[in-house]
Amino acid sequence: MGKKLVMAQKRGETRALCLGVAMVVGAVITYYILGTTVLPLYQKSVWTQESTCHLIETTIRDQEELEGKRVPQYPCLWVNVSAVGRWAVLYHTEDTRDQNQQCSYIPSSLDSYQVARADVEEVRARFHEHQDFFCFATTRENESSVLYRRLYGPQSLLFSLFWPTFLLTGGLLIIVMVKINQSLSILAAQRTQGN
């Protein structure tokens, strides 16, 4: 009976150690992926200065020419604001600026023109309701654009690092608890043999 209990305990310890090591390895791989994808985007983001923007004008554009090519036909919103004491173009996020520099806001659904147009008009109406709002500016002097929302800010970085940290901590705790259990069982076995 005692031998079966020891064998079952060793199998359970081995499984727990494998789980702990797998969790640590998974966390390390996730940290590597985040370090090569999210961290460079966070470091490249120059829109770090919080500012208050005041709406100057909004325009809905249907089809424009971008570098001599016609962009896909969808309505987009063009927003001019004053921020940090100068005129600027407002972009929804960093990605909006990269997708089309002639659009401040690109609707999420481009399948139906009517749905996209309604989305753009709703966003435009919200800007007219709240003409003063927080935005993110850059410290560069020659930059004439600001962001409404940062995709790669400190909150998103912390949120991205939460689960791998949780996984790493859990895996290390499992490994430490198994090792403590093993050392205590060895001490107990030595005491029983000594008596």
Which band of pLDDT confidence, cut at 50, 70 and 90, is reported for residue 71?
A: low
pLDDT score for 8 = 55
- Cβ-contact 88, 52 below 8 angstroms: no
- Cβ-contact 78, 134 below 8 angstroms: no
Q: What is the mean pLDDT of residues 22-34?
A: 95
Q: In 3-state terms, what secondary structure has residue 150?
A: coil
Q: Which amino acid is at 116?
A: A
pLDDT score for 95 = 84
pLDDT digits (tens, 9 = 90+) for 36-59: 988 888 887 777 888 888 888 888
Name the more confident of 101 and 24.
24
Residue 124, phi then psi, degrees to nearest 5: -60, -45
Name the more confident of 153 and 165.
165
